[in-house]
A and B are shown apart, each in its own frame.
Chain A
Amino acid sequence: MSAAGGLPRTGSALAIWPALRRSGLGPGLLMLAVVTGLNIALQPDFFSGASLSGNIATFAPTILICVAQAVIVLSRELDLSLGAGVSLINCVMASLPQDKVGGPLGVMAIAILVAILLGAVNGLLVAYAGLPSLVATFATGAIWFGLALTIMPQPGGVISDAIGDRYAGTLMGIPVPLLIIAVAMTGWAILARHRSGRRIMAVGSNPQAARDAGIPLRRTKLLAYLVAWILVALGAIAISAQTLSGDPRLGTSYTLASVAAVVIGGISLGGGRGTPWGALVGALVLGLVTNVIYFAGIASSWQEFVKGLVIVAALGFMVLEGQRRA
């Protein structure tokens, strides 16, 4: 099999193309270029500091949650409870007595612990109990949502301004949301070079072969869930830093957005093929589409329509790619 076999090699500048195709990132990057170009054309101050940092602050939670989904999808599973998990973490954060748990750092530490717990439950159900992830995480999602509603029957609570201010600020001149994304992606890059990260990919691309090679299937899938939910915690903290309050429905839309971003990013839903960078690209595309629609003055009711088109187009690319490989 040669991914680049059918491509005419017209010059060295195109040498990057086969690599892109192998990663599945090509169509996603193309879409990203198009929506970024449109956004720049429609919004003259796109590159202004305020605009860029506003965009990053807006997109960061989605990016982190989409990358989380990507890690799980790469292990050939799915998690439909991410959005409800974000809501639950957010409600926990907003209902904590902020001063009594060690201030912002304590609140964030608890958020991460809760996320790890949720990820462990999902991971155990899927990897060890052998439940199909689609159904199991759909069910746990309902449980997370129910718990969120129990903790916080209506939107309210307080998340300390300190978290919000820090999120909106910069560290060493770099916007904090950008730093969080950089840390997350670096973390994945390190993991991917490590044995555990390679195992996640191996388990996803061919579970049988991975098992034959002596890779512990269950432990690896559980690891994928745990890694993903740490990213979900970061995403939940990032959105909570913007709403500064709790809302049991806050995360609802992230579940589908994360699956969409994974598809746009060229990550095979069958597992094993693609990279979390694809989900980052997918999340950016989804976010920028919304901006383009706004600045083009198109009625917002078209947003979902256009996003749907983008996802269908991404799926189409994927199918074409699959046929070409076959």
Chain B
Amino acid sequence: MAFTRRGFTSAGLGLASVAALGGIKPSQAAAPVTIGLSNGYFGTEWRDQMIDASKTQFAMYENQGLAHKLIVQQAGPDTAAQIQDVRNMIRSRVNVLMIDANSATALTGVIHEAKRAGIPVIAFDQAVTDPYAINVGIDEYDWGKHYAEWIVAQLKGQGRVAVMDGVPGHPAAVARRTAFMDVFAKNPGIKIVWSGYGMWDQAKAQAVMATVLAATPHIDAVCTEDGMGLGIMRAFQAAGRPVPIMTGEAQKSFLLAWKKERDAGHDVHLFARSNPPEIGRTAVGVAVRIAAGRKLKPLPDNTYHYPIKVEVTNDNLDQLLASVADKPDGYFLGEYLSESELDKLFV
């Protein structure tokens, strides 16, 4: 898909040549850059860390004189409220919009308004369908595929698997679930004994799994994604059953429970892949460069998929835990693009 971005590319072309040599460096005459960040759901550890990470990245650019102001608005689950937030940002003439949307489609109208106002839009974390927006996030399908493939490898293609998903209808949950089912369908030895939803909530996941365990005597592995692994592990422990082969979240609390289980001498087979809230940092990096007039290299479907590096296994568990020793238990393993990696995305 061709990269057709109007409005800001032409305005920034002159600056881009200046910027090409040394990092972002817009000309000193450039107007101070204001970023409007509109977030949907908030009050979860992941989203809080995402906002903090975005602010950290922004502060770095602010110190370098590359950005002037970061406006953060969090609408909660209310789409109408997020529309109002984005409208206010357009009206206060931010230079670039960053949106973590509640839905892939509901902001289409207001993204059109941003387009008319000539304000570039970066949809991060949650991808949106409108082609004007640049998506920055992880490849949810690929992410889910890694989880399911790890399960299949651990089971050597044979076993009874329970699958727990996040929120029904949420695009990320749907993509991951589809990936799980695609992988399992290719392995006839894998039998799915139960599948359902834990709402990305540890307590809910634990309660659901407790019910499942009572009804399902034989489970070899649990394939779950993000934010429910700890609850599932606790359900097994509470039922007096050994923790099965299972996936979980790259969150400190889960990793601590994992270590405890292993240190107690149990044979643990666990896996987690990072889904970094620091995607906010990467997105701020992209936003500041676009606001400075730099031009992205063409992206397929206008979407940049952040390449995840961190996978947690028994081998690197201790090392990764040590690296987040000073962080709270709710902390997710973070990773983001460096300045030079960010520069490589641009012409």
Contact = CB atoms under 8 A, between A and B. Distances in A.
Instruction: Tell whether A and B belong to one assembly.
Output: yes
8 contacts: A54-B113, A58-B87, A153-B168, A153-B169, A156-B104, A242-B110, A253-B80, A294-B88
Interface stretch (B1-9, B70-78, B275-283): B70-78
A297 B88 CA distance: 11
A115 interface: no
Nearest to A158: B105
A303 to B, nearest CB: 8
Contacts of B73: 294, 300
A300 B106 contact: no
A155 B171 contact: yes
Contact of B87 (A54, A253, A299): A54
Given A43-B92, A242-B80, A253-B76, 10 more contacts: A51-B91, A58-B87, A157-B105, A245-B105, A246-B105, A249-B102, A287-B84, A290-B85, A297-B71, A300-B85
B319 to A, nearest CB: 36
Interface residues of B, number: 36
Nearest to A152: B169
A245 B103 contact: yes
A155 B106 CA distance: 7
A300 B109 contact: no
Contacts of A164: 109, 112
Interface of B: 42, 71-81, 83-85, 87-88, 90-92, 102-110, 112-113, 168-171, 174
Nearest to B43: A301
Contacts of B81: 253, 290, 303
Contacts of A248: 169
B85 A295 contact: no
Interface string A243-260: 111111110111000000
A247 B72 CA distance: 24
B91 A50 contact: yes
Nearest to A293: B73
A149 interface: yes
Contact of A245 (B74, B77, B106): B106
Given A239-B80, A253-B81, A294-B88, A244 B109 contact: yes
A291 interface: yes
Given A154-B174, A239-B80, A300-B75, A149 B108 contact: no
B78 A247 contact: no
A54 B77 contact: no
Contact of B80 (A45, A62, A299): A62
Contact of B169 (A57, A154, A244, A295): A154
A244 B108 contact: yes
B205 to A, nearest CB: 20
A244 B103 CA distance: 12
B106 A250 contact: yes
A294 B168 CA distance: 32
A156 B105 contact: yes
Contacts of A254: 80
Interface string A28-50: 00000000000000010100001
Nearest to A249: B77
A241 B83 CA distance: 12
A294 B84 CA distance: 10
Nearest to A153: B169
Interface string A151-184: 0011111000000100010000000000000000
Contact of A247 (B71, B79, B87, B113): B79
B171 A154 contact: yes
Interface in A232-275: 239, 241-250, 252-254
Nearest to B80: A239
Contacts of A291: 84, 88
Given A154-B170, A244-B109, A250 B79 contact: yes
A154 B104 CA distance: 9
A198 B250 CA distance: 63
A291 B81 CA distance: 10
B72 A300 contact: yes
* For the complex of A and B, 7 pairs with smallest distance between CB atoms: A245-B105, A155-B103, A154-B169, A253-B78, A243-B106, A242-B109, A294-B88
B80 A250 contact: yes
A141 interface: no
A205 B164 CA distance: 52
Contacts of A62: 80
Contact of A54 (B91, B112, B169): B91
B97 to A, nearest CB: 14
A290 B112 CA distance: 22
A205 B313 CA distance: 68
B106 to A, nearest CB: 4
B80 A61 contact: yes
Interface in A55-109: 57-58, 61-62
Contacts of B76: 253, 304
B107 A243 contact: yes
A245 B78 CA distance: 15
Contacts of B168: 149, 153-154
